Amino acid sequence: MKIGRNAPCPCNSGKKYKKCCGSPLANSVNNFDEAIPDGAVATFFDKKNETIVFLKDTMVVNQLRREGPKIAASFDDAFDKEIRQISEQFALSFGTLCCRFQHAGKDRVCDACVQLLANASQTSIAALELVRHGFRLQPGILIRNAVETVCVALSLFAEPTLFEAYEKGKLQSSKMVSRAKEIVPGLGWAYGFFSKEFAHIGQLHQQMTEWDTFEKSDQAAEMNLRFIKFAVNLLTISGELICYDSVDTHRYWKRIGPGRYSYDP
């Protein structure tokens, strides 16, 4: 005889059949051994969907090869305009560095500064790739690294005597922020913000971040895109200063004397 879902459970638990032996959980448990897939290494009960979830040893492989491309494609569709804006600004910034690359070997300090900015440029694009593949919290750590790298480049440019310590690996990069913030306004605040909220455990770490596809309304994606735009603009500003003599048009800096420049955007 078929038991009604709202009928008392025949096991005499006092519960309705649908909440006891007739529940999806009970059915899953009854068939648990048969339901275990190959490669399962862990399991938990999803209360929202009332089902048992198995975690397989191919979890990361599937995320990278199956889900990753879907997430990236959704990001590209939702934020195509923003990606193109970043790409355009990045090309201008990196183009400045490429002009200076043509004169490499004439000034070791300047060469080191340009190399640092080139590395920071790649770090910024790595942050873009991270958010593009669904990592919403982690890009800020890379942006912080890019900011610190720019601070080292600006400090070496302003104080070439630091180059010896840098070359020997004895330069404390975090202490260059105090020097660099006197050159480019806002650098100290930016470094502090990305350190507090991302490199260290800030408020954003208090919530579980999603690893899922994107929609245009995704606030975390919008936030990260603003961070990346900031980093690329910072590289453009810093690159123009360090490569001043290799740039035809100066949009941010004005030379006011030998080795002296004024930030004049």
Look at 251 and 106; give whichever has higher pLDDT.
251
Dihedral sign for Cα atoms in the order 177, 129, 83, 92? positive
Lowest-pLDDT range, 33-47, 87-101, 132-146? 33-47
97: confidence class by pLDDT, cuts 50, 70, 90: very high
Q: Which of 87, 89, 90, 117 is nearest to 101 (CA)?
A: 117
- Here the tokens at position 257 are 């004397």
pLDDT tens digits, residue range 218-249?
A: 999 999 999 999 999 999 999 999 999 888 88
213 exposed, middle or buried (CB, 10 Å; 0-12, 13-18, 19+)?
A: middle
Q: Which of 209, 229, 224, 214 is nearest to 69 (CA)?
A: 214
CA separation for the pair 124, 121 (Å, rounded): 5
> How far lies 11's CA from each of 4, 18, 232, in Å?
14, 12, 66
The whole-number pLDDT of residue 139 equals 96
CA separation for the pair 208, 194 (Å, rounded): 19
Look at 164 and 23; give whichever has higher pLDDT.
164
Q: Where are the beta strands (DSSP E) in the chain?
A: 40-46, 51-56, 253-257, 260-263
Read off the pLDDT of each residue in 42-59 and give the average, rounded to a whole number.
78
Around Cβ 156, how many Cβ atoms within 10 Å?
25
Instruction: Using CA atoms of 187, 190, 192, 194 in order, give the dihedral in degrees to the nearest 10.
Output: -140
pLDDT tens digits, residue range 151-206?
A: 999 999 999 999 999 999 999 999 999 999 999 989 999 999 999 999 999 888 88
**What is the value of pTM for the model shown?**
0.81
Read off the pLDDT of each residue in 209-224 and give the average, rounded to a whole number.
91
The whole-number pLDDT of residue 143 equals 97
5: confidence class by pLDDT, cuts 50, 70, 90: low
Strand, helix or coil at 172? coil
CA separation for the pair 98, 104 (Å, rounded): 10
Residue 147 has pLDDT above 90, yes or no: yes
Residue 2 has pLDDT above 70, yes or no: no
Residue whose pair of structure tokens reads 């593949």 in the numeric block: 133
Residue 254 has pLDDT above 70, yes or no: yes
191 exposed, middle or buried (CB, 10 Å; 0-12, 13-18, 19+)?
A: buried
CA separation for the pair 220, 45 (Å, rounded): 28
Residues whose CB falls within 8 Å of the CB of residue 81, separated by 6 or more in sequence, listed in order: none
